[in-house]
Amino acid sequence: MDQLFGHGAQPFGRQLSRPGAGKLPVTVITGFLGAGKSTLIKALLESPEGAGTALIVNEFGEVGIDDALLRESSERTMLLGNGCLCCLSGTDLQMTLRDLFAERMRGAIPDFRRVIIETSGLADPSPILQTLATDRTLDLHYALEGLVTVVDAATALATAGHADEWAKQVALADRIVLTKTDLAAPEERDALRARLAELAPLAPVEEAKAGVVDPAFVLGEADGLREAARRSAFLCETPASAPTHRQPYKTFVITIDRPLPWTVFAHAFDTLASLRGPDLLRVKGFVNVAGRQGPVVVHFVQHLAHQPEELKAWPGEDRTTRLVFITRNLTRERVEALLSAVLAMADDAPEEGAGAGGPEAGS
Q: Which residues bind other proteins (CB under 8 A)?
A: 3-9, 13-17, 21-23, 42, 45-46, 65, 67-68, 70-71, 79-83, 105-108, 110-111, 113, 140
Cα–Cα dist 230/259, whole Å: 20
Q: Find the shortest distance in angstroms from Cβ 22 to other proteins.
A: 3
Name which of 43 and 157 has its Cβ closer to other proteins. Answer: 43
Segment holding 130, helix H or strand E = helix 126-134
Fill in the amino acid letter for 252: F
Q: Find the shortest distance in angstroms from Cβ 2 to other proteins.
A: 10
Q: Find the shortest distance in angstroms from Cβ 259 to other proteins.
A: 22
Show Cβ contacts of residue 174 under 8 Å, excluding neighbours closer than 6 positions: 146, 147, 148, 203, 220
Q: Find the shortest distance in angstroms from Cβ 150 to other proteins.
A: 20
Name which of 17 and 331 has its Cβ closer to other proteins. Answer: 17
What is the DSSP code string of 27-87? EEEEE-TTSSHHHHHHHHHHSGGGTTEEEEES-GGGGT-GGG--EE-SSSEEE-STT-EEE
Q: Find the shortest distance in angstroms from Cβ 279 to other proteins.
A: 34
Count the Cβ atoms, other than its own, within 10 Å of residue 209.
11
Cα–Cα dist 148/169, whole Å: 9
Name which of 152 and 310 has its Cβ closer to other proteins. Answer: 310
User: What are the counts of helices (DSSP H) followed by strands (DSSP E) for the chain?
Assistant: 12, 16
Q: Find the shortest distance in angstroms from Cβ 183 to other proteins.
A: 26
Name which of 125 and 220 has its Cβ closer to other proteins. Answer: 220
Segment holding 99, helix H or strand E = helix 93-106
Name which of 36 and 110 has its Cβ closer to other proteins. Answer: 110
Contact status, residue 336 vs residue 359, Cβ threshold 8 Å = yes
* Sign of the dihedral through C-alpha 164, 213, 38, 93: negative
Kindly report the three-state secondary structure assignment for every residue of 169-216. Answer: HHHCCCEEEEECHHHCCHHHHHHHHHHHHHHCCCCCEEECECCECCHH
Name which of 4 and 242 has its Cβ closer to other proteins. Answer: 4
Name which of 8 and 161 has its Cβ closer to other proteins. Answer: 8
Q: Find the shortest distance in angstroms from Cβ 59 to other proteins.
A: 18
